[in-house]
Amino acid sequence: MSTQEFPPSELPSPSLQDTCYVNAMSHFYRGELGRIMIWRQRLDVTTTWAITTTTTIIGVAFSFKDVSHIIFFFNLALVWIMLWIESRRYRFYDAFRGRVRMLESHFLVPMITQHPGILDGEWRKLVCEDLILPSFKITRFEAVGRRLKRNYAFIFGIIMVAWTLKIFMHAQSQILSFKDFCNALAVHELPSWLASIVYFGTILSITGLTIYFSRTSSEEVSEFGSGNSSLWRI
């Protein structure tokens, strides 16, 4: 029995009345939705690690006066590691989320509106290509920026505030000028200039990256005030 082959331009368009097609796509959507939920949970785990580490270190730093503020160096390093790990996980989450959004836009919308014409386009070809050769939809740098903007900018901000308070509260001498503050950053064998680079470099880099990605990176969900939000008023 020979199988009929269709050129790409003559492939039969699926019908919303085709039970097999609708069932297969429904199960496919459910499977992809479950996959992104797993990756979403993995994002929450690394964020929880970063928050737990930060709160523990801050608690230790302020509970004991003899604890040096160098502990915040380790806090920053651990949070940067968590951010790097989470950005990798976010790229996987975003890759599978792209498939889900494609199905929602081109399969569920026609089902809801009962308008099969919305199915037109090459979205099925794009989904098939991504199933055969999965690919990331964003760069690692953009993934870092998104997670930084959403969660980690606040974590870094809390660390820097706690670090500053620790220096002022437990300084060996009174701090009356900017130079005194820079000198207070020195601890043990760590010179003040190196500590100042880490301290001010962290503030500038986090602030700069957050502002940059806030202006350039797109959001997954738009603000409620944009678009035709009046349809949602009850």
List, for residues 45-54, the tens digit of each pLDDT value: 999 999 999 9
Q: For the chain, list the strands marked E by DSSP.
A: none
Distance CA 62, CA 49 (A): 20
Its pTM stands at 0.80
Separation of alpha carbons 87 and 217, rounded Å: 14
- Greatest mean pLDDT among 8-12, 122-126, 140-144, 179-183: 140-144
CA 114 to chain centre: 35
Look at phi and psi of residue 74 and say left if phi exceeds 0, alpha if psi is from -120 to 50, else beta: alpha
C-alpha span between 62 and 54 (Å, rounded): 12
Domain boundaries, the chain: 13-218
Residue 231's pLDDT is 58
DSSP-assigned beta bridge partners for residue 187:
190
> If DSSP codes are grouped into helix, strand and coil, which group holds residue 223?
coil
Rg of the chain, C-alpha, whole Å: 26
Q: Where do runs of H (alpha helix) occur along 133-191?
A: 140-147, 153-169, 178-185
Residue 58 and residue 184: Cα distance in Å, rounded?
A: 18
- Look up residue 195 and give its two tokens: 């500590």
Give counts: helices (H), strands (E), the chain: 8, 0
Give the integer Cα–Cα distance in Å for 87 and 119: 33
Q: What is the per-residue pLDDT for 15? A: 65
If you average pLDDT over every residue of the chain, what do you get?
Answer: 83
What pLDDT is recorded for position 2? 45
Say if residues 147 and 83 touch (Cβ distance below 8 Å): yes
Contact 208, 214 (CB under 8 A): no
